[in-house]
Structures are given as structure tokens and as C-alpha cells.
Amino acid sequence: SDEHLDLDDGRWEDIHVVTGALKLFFRELTEPLVPFSHFDKFIAAIKMQDPTRRGRCIRDLVFSLPPAHHDTMKVLFRHLCRVIEYKEENRMSVQSIAIVFGPTLLRPASEEGNMAMHMVFQNQVVEHILNQYSYIF
């Protein structure tokens, strides 16, 4: 929206407010960061047994995203990698970040099917991209 935010306002000092706003922004997008059209492709890729093929396939899928999605993902994941560098202080490991962001960034068009199973794979995709950031981007 066109609302002007003063980030020097004291209410933004609580990191939970900022992180909550970031998650809410991505959760409320009409289409997630990983478009619905790519959901099944990412899930199929993360299920591949051969790690080399899996890595190449996920990198190719990220590259195939529309430019706005790809560029946003690059910036977001670069930031999340920096957050992970401080995991001893903030308790946000790769797995924790994946659990928080997996279902928000990557979700099916409809909630039919096994949501619990989807969540496992959604988290694994995010975890893979975080772990392989420099290779993927």
C-alpha cells in the first residue's frame, strides 16, 4: 500500500514485529513466491534420490521462475542465509527457517491432498535452496 512507515518508530525495535510482517507479506500474496505452476515441479525435484540431479533440477527450476519471483527469492534467501549465520544467538538454524518459511513461500493451489506430507517437502525445498544458495544463485 502507499502507507508511509517510519522505521525509526519504537514499535519496529521488536524483531518479532518485523519478522511477523515479513512472513505475513509473503503469506498474503495472491500467488506465493514459488508460483502455483511450479509447486509440483519443486516437490518432484526434492524427491529425486540422486543428489546431483536433485540439485541441478532445483537450480534450473529457480532459474525458470518469472524474473520478479526469481529476483525476490534471491534477495530473501540471501538475507535468510545471513540470519542463519547468527543461529547461535537467534536460534534460527536452516531447519528452523525452512519450517517457518516453507509453507509460506511454496504452497499448492488447493489444499487437497496430504498437507502434512506437502509440508515436509516444502520445508525440504526451502532448506535445500538455503544450503545451496551460492550454487543456485
pTM: 0.88
The pLDDT assigned to 1 comes to 61
Mean pLDDT, range 87-102, rounded to an integer: 95
The model's confidence at residue 30, banded by pLDDT at 50, 70 and 90, is very high
CA distances from 121 to 34, 38, 85, 103 (A): 13, 13, 24, 9
Q: Per-residue pLDDT averaged across 50-55, rounded?
A: 98
Cα angle 76, 132, 51 (rounded to 5 degrees) comes to 140
Give all domains of the chain, ordered by start, each with its CATH number. Answer: 13-135 (1.10.555.10)
* Predicted pLDDT at 56: 98
| Residue 113: band (very low, low, confident or very high) from pLDDT cuts 50, 70, 90 | low
In order, the DSSP letters of 71-108 are: HHHHHHHHHHHHHHHTHHHH---HHHHHHHHHHHHB--
pLDDT number for residue 73? 98
pLDDT, residue 40, reads 93
